[in-house]
Amino acid sequence: MANARRFGLYLARWQLSTPILWLVIRNLGAGLGSTVVANLIGGAIFFWVDRFIFTSRAVEVWQFKDKGRCDACGKEESLWRLVKASNYDKSSSRPHFLCMQCSKNKTDQLRAQGIKIRGKSL
Which residues sit at the interface with Zn ion, rule CB under 5 A? 70, 72-73, 75, 99, 102
Whose Cβ is closer to Zn ion: residue 106's or residue 117's? Answer: 106
Whose Cβ is closer to Zn ion: residue 51's or residue 69's? Answer: 69
Residue 9, C-beta contacts closer than 8 angstroms, at least 6 positions apart: none
Least gap, CB of 79 to Zn ion (angstroms) = 8
Least gap, CB of 105 to Zn ion (angstroms) = 8
Whose Cβ is closer to Zn ion: residue 21's or residue 102's? Answer: 102
* Residue of 85, 87, 82 lying closest to 64 (CA atoms): 82
Q: SS3 for 59?
A: coil
Least gap, CB of 103 to Zn ion (angstroms) = 7
Whose Cβ is closer to Zn ion: residue 44's or residue 73's? Answer: 73
How many separate helices (H) and strands (E) can be counted in the chain? 4, 3
Which helix (H) or strand (E) covers residue 61, if one does? strand 61-69
Least gap, CB of 102 to Zn ion (angstroms) = 3
Amino acid sitting at position 67: K
